[in-house]
Structure 1
Amino acid sequence: MSGKPGLRERKKQQTRLAISQVATRMFIERGFDEVTVAEVAEAAQVSVNTVFNYFAAKEELFFDQAEEVEDAPSRVVRERRAGESAVDALHRRFQEMLKDKRWPLSDATRLKPFLATIEASPALKARGRLILERTEQRLAQTLIEETGAPPDDPTARAVAAMVIGLQRILIQEAQARVLRDETHASIRAALSRLGDRGFELLRSGVGDYCKRGA
C-alpha cells in the first residue's frame, strides 16, 4: 500500500481547504468577528452544515492547520536523531526553520494581514492560547512515551511547559516585529538571538533529557 489518500479523501481535503481559504480571505478583509459562518458558507457555495462537517468551530476556519501546529514539537522529538536529546532536536529544527525560505516569516508582507486579524480579535487570540496549551499537553505526553516514564511524570510536564513557554515568547516577538513592518533580516536576527539564548538556558537546566541512544 502506498499510504497516499484515496480519491474521496483527497476531495474532502480539497473541499476543506477551499472553505478555509474563502473564510480566511473574508476574515482578513472584514475582521473575524464581523463575518458569520453563514456568510462563509454562501461565499464558498456550500451549506452551513457542510462547513460544520469540516470545522467544529468558527475559529477553526482561520486556524485550519492547528492540528499540524499542535503536533509539530512532538513530531520533532519523535523523529530526533541518534544521540540527540529532546531540546537538541527542537533547537536544530528551530534553526532550520529560520533558514527555510518557505517559512511564513520569510514573507512578512503576506503574513502581516493574517497576524493583524488575530490581533484585532479576542476570539482568535483566545484560540491561539488554546492551541499552545494543547501543544504543551501533547508534547508532555510524547516525552512520557519516549522516556517510558509513568503517566503522571512531573519531569515531562515541566520540560514541555518550558519548551512551549519559549515557543510562546518567540511567537510574540515575531508577531510584534511583523506588525511593525520590520525587515525579514531584522526579524530573523532577533528571533535567532532570542531562540538560541532560550534553548541554551533550557539545555543548561534539562541537560540530555530524552536523549536517543546511538
Structure 2
Amino acid sequence: MGEGLRERKKRQTRQRISEAAVALFVERGFDHVTIAEVAAAADVSVNTLYNYYESKEDLVLPPDQASPQRLADIVRAREPGESAARAVLDHLRDELRRRDRNVGLTAGFGRVFQMMRAAPTLTARLEDLGREMTEALGAVLAEETGAAPDDQTPVVVAGAIGWFHSLVYGEIGRRIEAGEKPDAIAKAVLELLDLAEGMLSGTALTYATRPEA
C-alpha cells in the first residue's frame, strides 16, 4: 500500500526540520543555534518541532537512523549459513560500496562531520551509541545461542564486532577531516575491513551462524 497524504506530509515536515537544523548547525555551530531558531527556519512552531524530535541532539542523530539496535538488527536479519560477524562485515561493505549516508559518504558530509566533532554533547552521544549497540548485540547473541548466564562468549564476540564497526567509522571520520573524496575513502575502508576480518579469530567469525533451512 502506498504512502498516504498524511504520512507524506509528516515525512516532508520532518525532513524540512532536519535540513533546516543541519544547515544552521553547520553554518554557526551546534551550540550556537537554538531550537527556536531551527523552528523559525523550518517554518514550524517549537511545539511542532518537538513532536518530531525530542531533543536538539536528535536533529543531528535521529533515533530511527542512529539506533542502538543497528548491529542487533543487522544480525537478526542475517541469512541462513551466515554468522553474526560476517553479517555485519557484509553489511558494512555494502554500505561502503553504495556510498550510503549511514557511513557518511554522501556529498557535503564533511562539514556536517566537523560540526559534530566540535559539539561535546554530540560526541558524547556517539560514544554512548557505540556502547549501546554493542550491549544490544551481546543480548541478541546470548538469546539466540542459548548461552548460560556465566558464559561471556556473546559479550566478547559482540565486543569484537563493535570494535571493527567503530574502527570503520573512526577511519571514515579521519579521512573526511583530511579532505579525502568519498570514492577514495570507500576504497581505503574496504581494505581496512579485509584486514580487520583477517585479525578476527575463527570463533568470532563463525559464532552464532544461522542454521541452514
Query: In 1, Cα distance between the equivalents of 2:147 and 2:9?
Result: 41
Aligned-partner Cα distance in 1 for 2:41–2:111:
20
How many residues are matched? 210
In structure 2, the partner of 1:40 is 38
**Cα separation, 1, equivalents of 2:151 and 2:211:** 21
The structure-2 alpha-carbon separation of the partners of 1:153 and 1:138, relative to structure 1 and needing over 3 Å to count, comes to: same
Measure the CA separation in 1 of the matches of 2:64 and 2:4: 21
* Matched AA of 2:119: S
Note if contact 2:81-2:210 (Cα within 8 Å) is conserved in structure 1. yes
Residue 119 of structure 2: aligned partner: 121
Aligned twin of 2:187: 189
1:180-204 CA distance string (max 9 Å, x none):
1123343223212221222232343
Deviates more, 1:32-41 or 1:141-150: 141-150
Note the C-alpha offset of 1:150.
5.4
Q: How does 1:55-204 map to 2 (within 5 A)?
A: 55-64=53-62, 66-70=63-67, 71-103=69-101, 105-107=104-106, 109-149=107-147, 154-204=152-202
Moved more, 130-139 or 116-125: 130-139
Structural RMSD (CA): 2.3
Question: Matched residue of 1:42: which SS?
Answer: helix
Shift of 1:59: 0.5
TM-score normalised by L of structure 2: 0.86
Residues 137, 67 of structure 1: CA spacing in aligned structure 2 closer, same or farther, 3 A cutoff? Answer: farther
Moved more, 199-208 or 149-158: 149-158
Q: TM-score, normalised by structure 1?
A: 0.86
Q: Distance in 1 between matches of 2:147 and 2:6?
A: 40
Q: Measured at CA, do residues 9 and 209 of structure 1 come closer, stay the same or move farther in structure 2, by a change above 3 Å?
A: same
> How many Å separate the matches in 1 of 2:207 and 2:145?
9
Q: For residues 125-147 of structure 1, what are the alpha-carbon distances to aligned partners after superposition, in whole Å with 9 as ceiling and x for unaligned?
A: 11111221222222222223332
Counterpart residue identity of residue 54, structure 1: Y
Which of 52, 61, 86 is residue 54 of structure 1 equivalent to? 52
Query: In the alignment, residue 48 of structure 2 is paired with which amino acid?
Result: T
CA distance in 2, matches of 1:119, 1:207: 32
Instruction: Look up the equivalent residue of 2:152 and give its one-letter code.
Output: P
* Structure ranking higher in helix proportion: 1
Q: Are the counterparts in 1 of residues 135 and 158 from structure 2 also a CA contact under 8 Å? A: yes
Cα distance in 2 for partners of 1:59, 1:106 equals: 21
Q: Is the 8 A contact 1:87 1:203 kept in 2?
A: no
User: Aligned match of 2:27 in 26, 29, 53?
Assistant: 29
Per mean C-alpha deviation after superposition, the further-off stretch among 43-52 and 153-162 is: 153-162
- The amino acid of 1:211's aligned partner reads T
- How far did residue 90 of structure 1 move? 1.3
Aligned CA distance change for structure 1 residues 185 and 54 (closer, same or farther; 3 Å): closer
Q: 1:184 to 1:16 in 2, by over 3 A?
A: closer
Distance 1:40 1:150 in 2: 49
Taking only the aligned residue pairs, the percentage that are identical comes to 35
3-state SS in 2 of match to 1:171: helix
